[in-house]
């Protein structure tokens, strides 16, 4: 029997070799993905399943299984939400912890989470991820911040005395609301990781403007304002560690596709749909076409430009200010 974690996180196999094995497994064992592949007339490349499939069907290679861990996208109870059934929680734990350590020194970090609006979703993948990171801490200082009095001077003093780096996770709207409170000074080496949610109850904000506000509000250099790209349908995350360009972990690959022909990979700086290969999704579907608009640079880094709207997607080269 295949040991999927050993394959996914292997340093000896190429990404292409891993992709081929995962594709063969999913096209045979995942009924939804198999039917999708069979419906395509001419397969020249590995098909990308539209991510909305997670709203419409059980996207899993284990359809008869009862699941203890299920992620649901955010939204109200009457909305159609994506449902991701996680067959192997230990594999997901490896993915999120290895992925975070790929970018940050978790052992020297104090993790704080400020997540208003997510706590009432018991199936939030964001809450699960932050809790798992919090659980790794031995200092006892990592925690979710209370919503009524989130930042207390005594707690910040404890972090300073510990000598560890403060890493604060939060959705955009929550972090902006946090700045409207009397925010005590946090250590200058702290990192703020915003997890998206650019459309607040007040107005929509660009990532550039958001980072500028967070930098000024927390008194941190703008290089200390980072971003995380993840969603309920994915079991891996990408990070932008200062600036607007995201990088992936080794078992995840992003490309930009032509919306009219998703099999076509667009060249650098052309706007298109973000496609993701996430090998940690081995028990659901690893080959996904998102609803997000983006661009990629020649180094393989990508930017998120919001939700795709056919009316404003440009076919010409998109001029981007390099970091």
pLDDT band of residue 184 (cuts 50, 70, 90) is confident
The whole-number pLDDT of residue 318 equals 35
Nearest C-alpha neighbor of 96 from the set 234, 196, 3, 193:
234
Alpha helix (H) residue ranges in 119-206:
125-135, 153-162, 172-179
Instruction: Note whether 195 and 207 are within 8 A (CB).
Output: no
The whole-number pLDDT of residue 201 equals 52
Higher-scoring residue by pLDDT: 268, 115 = 268
Q: Rounded to the nearest 5 degrees, what angle is found at the Cα of 13, between the Cα atoms of 7 and 14?
A: 120
Please state the separation of Cα 207 from the chain's center in Å: 15
Please report, for residues 22, 83, 126, 173, 242, the alpha-carbon distance to residue 129 in angstroms, rounded to integers and kept in the order given: 24, 16, 5, 19, 21
pLDDT of 322 strictly over 80: no
Task: Count the alpha carbons within 13 Å of 248 in the hemisphere toward its beta carbon.
Answer: 23
pLDDT digits (tens, 9 = 90+) for 222-245: 999 999 999 999 999 999 998 899
What is the residue-averaged pLDDT of the chain?
90
Instruction: Note whether 106 and 133 are within 8 A (CB).
Output: yes
Please report, for residues 29, 233, 255, 271, 319, the alpha-carbon distance to residue 287 in angstroms, rounded to integers and kept in the order given: 14, 11, 11, 20, 28
In terms of average pLDDT, the best of 91-105, 192-206, 297-311 is: 91-105
Can you tell me the mean pLDDT for 293-322?
Answer: 71
The whole-number pLDDT of residue 243 equals 86
Q: How far is 308 from 73, CA to CA, in rounded Å? A: 18
Least confident stretch, 1-15, 172-186, 207-221: 172-186
Q: What is the percent of the chain where pLDDT is above 90?
A: 74
Q: In which residue are the tokens 């190429």 written? A: 14
pLDDT of 323 strictly over 70: no
pLDDT of 195 strictly over 80: yes
The whole-number pLDDT of residue 136 equals 95
User: Could you give the domains of the chain?
Assistant: 4-65+245-307 (2.30.38.10), 92-240 (3.40.50)
């Amino acid at each position: 029997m295949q040991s999927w974690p050993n394959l996914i996180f292997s340093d000896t196999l190429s990404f292409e070799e891993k992709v081929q094995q995962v594709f063969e497994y999913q096209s045979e064992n995942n009924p939804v993905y198999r039917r999708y592949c069979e419906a395509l007339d001419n397969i020249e490349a590995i098909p990308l399943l539209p991510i909305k499939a997670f709203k419409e069907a059980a996207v899993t290679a284990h359809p008869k299984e009862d699941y203890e861990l299920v992620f649901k996208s955010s939204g109200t109870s009457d909305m159609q939400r994506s449902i991701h059934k996680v067959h192997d929680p230990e594999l997901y734990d490896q993915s999120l912890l290895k992925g975070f350590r790929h970018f940050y020194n978790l052992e020297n970090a104090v993790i704080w989470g400020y997540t208003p609006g997510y706590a009432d979703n018991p199936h939030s993948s964001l809450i699960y991820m932050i809790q798992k990171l919090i659980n790794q801490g031995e200092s006892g200082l990592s925690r979710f911040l209370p919503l009524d009095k989130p930042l207390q001077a005594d707690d910040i003093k404890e972090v300073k005395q510990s000598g560890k780096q403060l890493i604060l996770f939060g959705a955009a709207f929550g972090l902006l609301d946090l700045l409207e409170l009397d925010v005590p000074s946090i250590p200058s080496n702290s990192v703020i990781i915003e997890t998206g949610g650019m459309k607040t109850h007040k107005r929509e904000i660009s990532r550039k403007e958001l980072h500028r506000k967070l930098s000024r509000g927390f008194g941190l250099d703008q290089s200390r304002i980072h971003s995380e790209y993840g969603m309920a349908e994915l079991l891996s995350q990408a990070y932008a560690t200062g600036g607007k360009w995201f990088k992936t972990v080794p078992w995840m690959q992003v490309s930009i596709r032509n919306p009219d022909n998703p099999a076509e990979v667009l060249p650098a700086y052309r706007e298109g749909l973000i496609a993701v290969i996430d090998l940690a999704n081995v028990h659901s579907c690893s080959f996904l076409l998102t609803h997000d608009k983006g661009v990629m640079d020649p180094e393989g880094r990508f930017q998120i430009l919001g939700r795709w709207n056919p009316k404003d997607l440009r076919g010409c080269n998109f001029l981007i200010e390099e970091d």
